[in-house]
Structure 1
Amino acid sequence: MNTQAVVNEFAKMKHLRVGVIGVALVVAVTGMSLFSAVVNPDFDPDSTSAWNALLAGMSLGMPLASPLLLAVLVSRHVDIEHTGNGWLLQATAGITPGSLCRAKFTALGIVVLAITLAQNLLVFLTGKLLAGITAPLPTAHWAGFAVCILAVNLVVLALHVVISAKVENQLVALGVGVLGTLPAVLSQGLPVAMAHLTPWGYYALARAADYQGEAIVPLPLSYPSIAALVVVAAALFWIITDRFDRQEA
């Protein structure tokens, strides 16, 4: 990995309003999480299920907001290479298209990591301070949920880096982001096998809590499936971006 290329990608972010998109994603998920708790007539801040209500809200808010906003984040960051002939300029500096894609993924991945941590921290603080939840926090389950969501977000991020780099018209990438919201949300009501068919379906496998009857209960996280997704996605991303280098050569 070219460290200087990653540093350059962070420098480009200053003019792309990456912070605005990140704040929008954090606020959207936090708002949906709190809304799910507020509208629940049985919400009791002293109950052991109080945190489950927020986790259920996050489990729904993530697939609703993340696919499109991740597509926007990547599209803005890659489009500058298409419009400014950046691929050629970087190649003359010794940074091939594949290396540039990997640098973009690394830089944006750090941003997505910060966004995911901020979402979880803000939901926890609002639940503790605003909703007044006094029940013990399910620390291990919540941490596992955060890791799983981060993994799925990074896989979707890598997918959009490839699409945005390969297709110059960024409306295509944004359209994929919009369409990705459908399997991300609908997979939560489909059989588990169906959720494995698309990268967005894995948001359903990362659900931490949901309604069962009238109660909100914690759900087991699909660690093996999500780990397998990460391994396959990482291998494919490396192979595809390596082919970008070979094509350029």
Structure 2
Amino acid sequence: MVNEFAKMRRLRVLPVAAVMVVGVVALSCTVLTGPGFLESVDAPSAQPWQRLLGGLALAVPLVSPVLLAVLASRQVDIEHQGGGWLFSQTCALSPGSLCRAKFAATGAVVVAATLAQSALVFGVGLLAGITVPFPVGPWLGYTASAVVVNLVLFALHLFLAARVSNQLVGLGVGVLGMFVALTGTGMTPGVAHLVPPWGYYALAVPVDTREAGVVALDPPHLSVLALGVAGGGVFVLFTRLFDRREA
């Protein structure tokens, strides 16, 4: 895994992750420009934190699918171009093991970026002058769910990038996944469960905006946790099968 961190410096992984963070934070904070938001930062009835959390929940599925595909592509394309699969096998590191090392290393970056997004949006709320009580439970619950869904989606793109040398395929899936994730907000929970992992962005949304104002939802966190467990198991299984490929 140490080698994978070393590779990141030349693959510009951190700048891509930084773009993901900046993109999510910028889109999340567009709610600050909404009518009456800055005038109601000290009004509990206006629920400014919940409105900002809703912006975060909309920005994550809009930005993450494509940039996670880019991260996975950059990590794997170097192996396709430079014969890295064969070289790793000569060092007693199977292709599946190499994929798992890449997931562990870059997955740490994905987790850090997702946590940074949440923390920075919270910081923007403080700078905007929000003084009403902070909804710790819903905020942390959504952040944890976003981490899980992002990791599962990254694992999917990493395996796809490893199996298909044409990286445009993975990027195309990322763009398509963005549209699926956004349309997932209009799906019923039952349908969203059937579109993993993109539909789970919608399942994790903790608030909704209706005519009466911002309404708190009850996200199925156990479903998101089950996605993480199942996704991790499938990734390990598929990468073990990947060990059987010819270099």
Q: TM tier, shorter chain?
A: over 0.9
Q: How far apart in 2 are the matches of 1:159 and 1:127?
A: 33
Q: Which residue of 2 aligns with 1:153?
A: 150
Is 2:12 the partner of 1:17? yes
Q: Does 1:34 align with 2:34?
A: no
Asked if the contact 2:73/2:167 (under 8 Å) is kept, the reply is yes
Which consecutive segments of 4 or more residues in structure 1 shift more than 6 A?
none
Q: For residues 115 and 211 of structure 2, what CA distance do their matches in structure 1 show?
A: 31
CA contact (8 A) 2:37 2:48 kept: no
Counterparts of 1:86 and 1:246, CA distance in 2: 16
SS in 1 for 2:215: strand
Matched, 1:142 2:139: yes
Task: Please give the TM-score of this superposition, normalised by the length of structure 1.
Answer: 0.94
- State how far apart, in whole Å, the 2-side matches of 1:75 and 1:135 are: 42
Give the paired residue count: 243
Structure 2 gap segments, 5+ residues each: none
Report the alpha carbon displacement of residue 214 of structure 1 after superposing the two structures with TM.
Answer: 4.1
Aligned residues of 1:97 and 1:248 also touching (Cα < 8 A): no
Shift in Å, 1:117: 1.0
Of the candidates 129, 133, 136, which is equivalent to residue 132 of structure 1? Answer: 129
Q: Give the AA of the match of 1:176.
A: V
One-letter amino acid of the counterpart of residue 100, structure 2: R
Distance in 2 (CA, whole Å) between partners of 1:248 and 1:184 is 35
C-alpha distance after superposition, 1:180-233 (max 9, x if no partner): 001100010111112112211100011122202241222212112111111211
In structure 2, how many angstroms separate the alpha carbons of the residues matched to 1:47 and 1:229? 37
What CA RMSD, in Å, does the superposition of the two structures yield over aligned residues?
Answer: 1.3
The residue number in structure 2 matching 1:3 is: none
Render the CA deviation track for 1:115-139: whole Å, top value 9, x for unaligned. Answer: 011101110111101x110011111
Matches within 5 A, 1:207-246: 207-246=205-244
C-alpha distance in 2 between matches for 1:231 and 1:27 = 29
- Aligned residue for 1:146, secondary structure, equals helix
Q: Is the 8 A contact 1:96 1:248 kept in 2?
A: no
Contact 2:31 2:37 in 1 (8 A): no
Give the residue type in structure 2 aligned to 1:38: T
Counterparts of 1:71-90 in structure 2, within 5 Å, are: 71-90=69-88
Match in the other structure for 1:47: 43
Once the two structures are TM-superposed, the CA of residue 42 in structure 1 deviates from its matched residue by: 5.0
Larger mean CA deviation between 167-176 and 12-21 belongs to: 12-21
Superposed CA deviations along residues 46-76 of structure 1, whole A, max 9, x for unmatched, are 1331100110001100000000000001101
Q: Residue deviations 1:10-45, cap 9 Å, x none?
A: 100001111211111111111111102322435511
Report the equivalent of 1:8. Answer: 3
Q: Paired residue for 1:173?
A: 170
Contact residue 205 and residue 219 of structure 2 kept, 8 A: yes
User: Aligned partners of 1:243, 1:232: CA distance in 2, in Å?
Assistant: 17
What is the SS of the residue equivalent to 2:11? coil
Percent of counterpart pairs with the same letter?
A: 49
Q: Residue 28 of structure 1: SS of its match in structure 2? A: helix
Q: Counterparts of 1:137 and 1:178 in 2: how far apart (Å)? A: 34
Q: Which runs of 5 or more residues in structure 1 are unaligned?
A: 1-5
Distance 1:14 1:35 in 2: 32
TM-score relative to the length of structure 2: 0.95
